[in-house]
Structure 1
Amino acid sequence: MAIETRVLRAEDWDEWYGMLELAFGGVADSPREQALWRDLTVPERAIGLRDGERWVGTAAAFPFRVSVPGGALVPAAGVTMVGVAPTHRRRGLLSAMMRRQLDDVRAWGEPLAVLTASEPAIYGRFGYGLGTWQVSAEIDTDRAGLAVPEGPRGADGVALRLADPEEASAACEAVYAALVPGRPGMIARTPGWERLPLLDPPGERGGASPLVCVLAERGGEVVGYARYAVKPGWDEGGPAGEVRLRDVEALDPAAYAALWRYLFGLDLTSSVHTRGRPVDDAWQYLVSDTRRCRPKLRDGLYVRLVDVGEALAARTYQVPVDVVLEVADDFCPWNAGRWRLTGDAKGASCERTGDAADLALSVRELGSAYLGGVPLLSLAAAGRVRELREGALARASVAFGWPVAPWLPHGF
C-alpha cells in the first residue's frame, strides 16, 4: 500500500504522538507534558505519514517569532516532533516530510525555519545551519568564589523573595519578554508557552526537590528571577547538595548578580549545575576560577532561510554592507542565484541581481551566520564560503556579526 501524507486532525493527536514517542525510544512523556504538547500543537501545521492504518512519520511546525539582530521579531516555523517509525527508515520518508514542510512554510509566508536537532548530522542536507551555541557548567561553589557588585546600587540593593512558581509565572514572563529583543535567537513566548518552564514531573526529578522560584525585586517591581531544584547529598566532608538551575534572567547586572549570589549561598549545597546558557553569559565573569566550573559547549538552534531576500532584509547589520551573494540551495531552488544585500544598523534590503557575485555560499552557511554568532570568516576557513572579490569576506563577516551572542533559551 502506498504511504499517504496527511495533515493532522486534532482527534488523531494521541495516536500520532504515540508514534513519535516510539521513534524516540518508546518512553512515554508524563501526562502533564503530553497535555502541554497537545495544547501547543497546531494541527493544520502538522503532518504525518500513514501506511495503511498506522502512522509511520510525524512532523510539525510551531508558529514562532524569533528575535534577530536589530531586535525585530521575525516569523519562523519552529520545526518539531519529527520522527519516522523504526520499521520505515531509510526509505526517503524524512526527506519527503521536509520537502512538504518547507513548501508549507513558504506558503505560510514565514521567511525562517528553525529547529533543535536530536541528530545534528541529519539536517544540513535540508539547508539548516548551526546558528547558536550554548554552554553548560557544574560549578564547584566551595572552590570557585563569586565577586558581585555590592552596595545600594549593586546586589545589596536588590530584595529576594521566594514565590510559588505557578503564581510567579506572569512576573517571570514579563522579565523574559523584555529581554527577547536584545538577544538574537530568543523566542517570543505566546500564551501557553509559559507552561513549558514550569514542567516538573516527579518521575523526572532524579532525587531533586520540586521546582523552586526566587524573585529579584527593586522598589516592589520584579527585575529578575531564578527557577531551580535542589538535590540533597552528603559525602565524607559533609553536605554536598546540588543546585540544579532551570533558568535565571534579570533586567540589569545588579539583579543578575544578586540571584547568582543567592544560588551560590544555598545551605547544604556545594555546586550549581546549569545547562544551555548563552556562551557570553555573565556568570563566567563573576566567578573567580572558571576551571572549577567545568564548562561544556554544545550546539543549540539550527536556522534555515526559507526566503533569502525577506530573511536578510529583516535584520540589521553592525556596519554598512553592500555585497552580492551567490547562493546555492538545491532543496529550495527558489532561493538559488544572486542576491544584493545592502544595509546598516538602521535597516536593510535584499533583492535579486545580475551583478557579479562577491561571495559564494550555500543557504546552510547563511543560516549559520544569520543570527550573528557564527562568523563568515570561520565558515570560509572551513571551505564553506568562497570570496570572489578581494576584501568582501572580511567586511561582510563584520557586518553579519552581533555584539550579543545569539541564544535559544529552551527547546521545543
Structure 2
Amino acid sequence: MAKDSASDTGLPELRVLRQDEWNTWYDTLIRGFGGVPEAAEERELWNSLTELDRSIGAWDGDVCVGTAGAFSFRVTVPGGAAVPAAGVTMVSVAATHRRRGVLTSMMRRQLDDVREWGWPLAVLTASEPEIYGRFGYGVGTFQVSAEIDTARVRLSVPPGTDDVRLRYAVAADVVDACEAVYARKVPGRPGMIARLPGWERLGLLDPESDREGGSPIQCVLAKRDGEVVGYARFRVKPEWDGNGPCGTVLVRDVQALDPAAEAALWRFLFGIDLTSTVKAWSRPADEAWQHQVSDLRRCVVRVKDALHVRLVDVGAALAARTYQAPVDVVFDVEDAFCPWNTGRWRLSGNAKGASCERTTDPADLALSVRELGAAYLGGVSLDALGAAGRVRELRRGALAEASVGFGSSVAPWLPHGF
C-alpha cells in the first residue's frame, strides 16, 4: 500500500484506517449517506467485515472528511475462473469538502494500491452511477426488480418440479446448507462473488428497520432425495383491504442448483396464503421465471445497473477469462487515470484460455478502459458500445468478431451488495 502522506496541494491527509478510528470513520460515512443511524447489528457486521489495511480515511486535521475501503473479493469471470478483485466500498466525502479533489485523491490512492496488491480488477456498486465513469469504471452487470401480481399471473414449471420437497427452516440454523448451495452456484455465473467467512451473516441480517412492515426473515429449503438443492429467504407483509387479504411476499434471496428446484421455490413464493403480490429485487436479468409467467406485463419488471467493473491491469484481466468464440484482436486502449494500461494490447483467446500482451501491431479496435470494463463479464455487447460511438472499429469485421467472443451464455449477476 502507498505510504500515508499529506498532500502538497492542501488536500486532506490520506492514511490507512486504524481500529481505534473506525467509529469516527464510519460515522463520516453514515453522515455522507444522510445521517440515519444503522441498527446496532448492522453496524457491528460492517465493523467485523471492514479490512482495515485496505481502507483509507481523508483527514483534515483531526476531522475525518472522506472514507474509502476495499474488500478482498474473488469474482467469477466468463469461463468460471475466480479472479482477485478489490470490492470498492464505503466511499464518501463530507459535504463540507466537496469539489476539492478529495474523491479523486482517494480513487487515485486506491487504484495505485490495487495495482500494488497484484489484483487485475476493481468492482463497485454506485449510489450515483455517473460518478465513477471518470475513474474508468464501466457498468458490467444489470439487475432486475419485479412487482408480480400473483392473483393474475400464473407460473408454468418444468418437468421434475413436483419431485422437489420444500420445508420451512430457521434461517440461522441452516446457513451452512444454504452457503453450500451458493458456493456451487458461484462458478457458473460471471459477476458472482465467492463469499469469505463472515459474509454468510449478510444474508441473515434482519433489523426491524429494514422489514418494511414485513415479518422477520423466513426461510424455505428445497430438497431432493434428502439433499438440499435450493433455498429461498423472504418476508411476508400481511395486508387487508375491503376485498380481503392482499399481502406481499418480499423476496430476499433465491438460489437453486437446477431448473426444477428453482421453479419449485418460485411457485411456492407465488402461492403463499393471504398474499397477492411478490416483490423481488436484485435478480439476474435472464432468470427463468420471466419466461414461465403467463403475463410479463403484470410483473412490472425494471432493469438497473449493478456491478461497475474497472480493469486495473488490462493484460492480466483479459487473460484471466475465456471467450465463447475465437478472438484475435488488437485493442488500442485509452486510460487517462491509470496510464500504465494505455497502449496497444493483442488479445488471443477461445473457450479454453487466452493471452493478452502488449504489441506494436496495428490496432483493430480503439476504446477506453471503461468500455473494456463494461464488456468484461459478457453482459454488455461491444457491438452495442460501438453503435453508441464508444468503440471505434479500425479493421473491418473486428468489432463483430470481438463482440461475439466477449459474450456470455448466462447474464452476469451480482447477488448482493457490499
User: Per the alignment, do residues 328 and 2 of structure 1 end up closer, same or farther by CA in structure 2, a change over 3 Å counting?
Assistant: closer
The aligned residue for residue 173 of structure 1 is 179
Of the three residues 169, 190, 195, the one matched with 1:189 is 195
Of the three residues 123, 132, 146, the one matched with 2:141 is 132
The aligned residue for residue 31 of structure 1 is 40
Quick check: 2:138–2:309 contact (8 Å CA) kept in 1? yes
Quick check: 2:246–2:275 contact (8 Å CA) kept in 1? yes
The aligned residue for residue 6 of structure 2 is none
Distance 2:210 2:324 in 1: 43
The aligned residue for residue 230 of structure 1 is 236
Deviation at 1:204, TM superposition (A): 2.1
Deviation at 1:148, TM superposition (A): 1.2
Distance 1:313 1:2 in 2: 37
Of the three residues 202, 205, 210, the one matched with 1:204 is 210
The aligned residue for residue 215 of structure 1 is 221
Q: TM-score, normalised by structure 2?
A: 0.97
Match of 2:311, as an amino acid?
A: L
The aligned residue for residue 319 of structure 1 is 325
Distance 1:103 1:204 in 2: 36
Distance 1:250 1:267 in 2: 23
Quick check: 2:12–2:102 contact (8 Å CA) kept in 1? no
Deviation at 1:56, TM superposition (A): 0.3
User: Per the alignment, do residues 141 and 2 of structure 1 end up closer, same or farther by CA in structure 2, a change over 3 Å counting?
Assistant: closer
Does 2:161 align with 1:155? yes
Does 2:52 align with 1:46? no
Quick check: 2:11–2:100 contact (8 Å CA) kept in 1? no
The aligned residue for residue 310 of structure 2 is 304
Quick check: 2:144–2:301 contact (8 Å CA) kept in 1? yes
Distance 2:210 2:258 in 1: 33
The aligned residue for residue 344 of structure 2 is 338
Q: TM-score, normalised by structure 1?
A: 0.98
Of the three residues 254, 258, 264, the one matched with 1:252 is 258
Match of 2:354, as an amino acid?
A: A
Does 2:99 align with 1:90? yes
Residue aligned with 1:83, SS: strand
Distance 2:92 2:204 in 1: 25
Match of 2:84, as an amino acid?
A: P
Tell me the alpha carbon deviations over residues 329-350 of structure 1, each in whole angstroms, 9 at most, x when there is no partner. Answer: 0000000000000000000000
Distance 1:24 1:400 in 2: 36
The aligned residue for residue 405 of structure 2 is 399
Distance 2:161 2:60 in 1: 60
Distance 2:337 2:350 in 1: 30
1:317-396 map, 5 Å: 317-396=323-402
Distance 1:2 1:63 in 2: 28
Deviation at 1:28, TM superposition (A): 1.3
Quick check: 2:150–2:278 contact (8 Å CA) kept in 1? yes
Match of 1:126, as an amino acid?
A: F
Deviation at 1:372, TM superposition (A): 0.2
The aligned residue for residue 5 of structure 1 is 14
Residue aligned with 2:180, SS: helix
Quick check: 2:13–2:58 contact (8 Å CA) kept in 1? yes
Of the three residues 56, 74, 81, the one matched with 2:83 is 74
Distance 1:124 1:392 in 2: 25
Match of 1:20, as an amino acid?
A: L
Tell me the alpha carbon deviations over residues 54-106 of structure 1, each in whole angstroms, 9 at most, x when there is no partner. Answer: 10000000000000000000000000000000100010100000000000000
Deviation at 1:203, TM superposition (A): 2.1
For the aligned residue pairs, the C-alpha RMSD in angstroms reads: 0.8
Does 2:287 align with 1:278? no
Residue aligned with 1:330, SS: coil
Q: Mind listing any 5+ residue stretches in structure 2 that lack a counterpart?
A: 1-9
Match of 2:219, as an amino acid?
A: C
Distance 2:230 2:80 in 1: 21
Residue aligned with 1:168, SS: helix
Distance 1:19 1:349 in 2: 43
Match of 2:222, as an amino acid?
A: A
Distance 1:31 1:301 in 2: 27
Residue aligned with 2:129, SS: coil
The aligned residue for residue 121 of structure 2 is 112
Distance 1:252 1:278 in 2: 15
